[in-house]
Structure 1
Amino acid sequence: MSDKKEIVRTFEDLKVWQIAHKISIDIFELTNRFPPDEKYLLKDQMIRSSRSISDNIAEGYGRFHYQENTQYCRQSRGSAYELINQLITAFDCKYINEEELSNKKLLVSECVKLLNGYIRYLQKAKNDNTIREDEIFYNPKVDKETE
């Protein structure tokens, strides 16, 4: 493993978002095999919760303040646990097999670990510096001609 830090320019560069996005694609493909009567039930719930994981990471990244970003990451983590519960239900209903359940739970758990690390990073960054912008000169004088 390299000690070199990767530059993050957009939310798409975040490893946690990449894993979350993979989860949403995997769940979409997995639920396509569900019976038609689950289309608006478990299938829909699983697709929504899986997408919510990456959606909240992206939305939080777009927020200005670390505290807001952290809150969206916590919502993302909640959606991840919701998805684990739905995977267990899908297994109990015999829509997925034990190997699929195990593999998906492992992937979601990896995402939760990355989310927890990202949340810790955000909390530390918040304590180090509460504003995330380059130093800009703000002129307190108002130009009367431009009003």
Structure 2
Amino acid sequence: MRIFSFEKLIAWQKSRELAMLIFAETKKFPKDELFGLTSQMRRCSVSIASNLAEGSGRNSMKDKARFSEIAYSSSLELLNQVILCRDFEYLDENQSILIREKITEVNMLIDGLYKSQISNIE
């Protein structure tokens, strides 16, 4: 079985773990949030990993970097949603801290990837 380049990226691996965590936590949300925050947070978490994967298939470093920017932005959007979920008491303090730490880790990895990509733009 072929392993694609994005599968080797630690940023992608960690963003995949983050998406799995978000799916697990949002299963516990109120049913009336199914088409609100639950859906939004799930799409957002999937978007992080998806943009890293899509960017890896681009030919130019400029394009790769753009998709890393989009992934980073999606992670910030997810962080905002986690903060709101804490405000609404959908997440307890320990859950929100855990998710926030995972988002921070993913952000640092994406930032490093982005800096590497833009340093290689001609």
Question: Shorter-chain TM-score: what band?
Answer: over 0.9
State yes or no: 1:80 paired with 2:69.
no
State yes or no: 1:38 paired with 2:27.
no
What is the rounded CA distance, in whole Å, between the counterparts of 2:95 and 2:6 in structure 1? 28
State yes or no: 1:71 paired with 2:29.
no
Structure 1 residue 125: deviation in Å?
2.2
Structure-2 residue corresponding to 1:118? 113
SS of residue matched to 2:94: helix
Structure-1 residue corresponding to 2:43? 48
- In the TM superposition, 1:123-138 aligns within 5 A as 123-127=118-122
Structure-2 residue corresponding to 1:26? 21
Identity over the aligned pairs, expressed in percent?
A: 31
Q: Which of the two has greater helix per residue?
A: 2
Instruction: Name which of 70, 89, 94 aligns with 2:84.
Output: 89
RMSD over aligned Cα atoms:
1.2
1:46 aligned partner, one-letter code: M
**Structure with larger RCO (C-alpha < 8 A, sep 6+):** 2
Larger Cα Rg: Structure 1 or Structure 2?
1
Q: Deviations over 1:82-128 (max 9, x none)?
A: 0000001111111110011111111101111111100111112224x
SS of residue matched to 1:41: helix
Give the TM-score, by structure 1 length. 0.79
Structure 1 residue 27: deviation in Å?
0.2
What is the rounded CA distance, in whole Å, between the counterparts of 2:118 and 2:79 in structure 1? 26
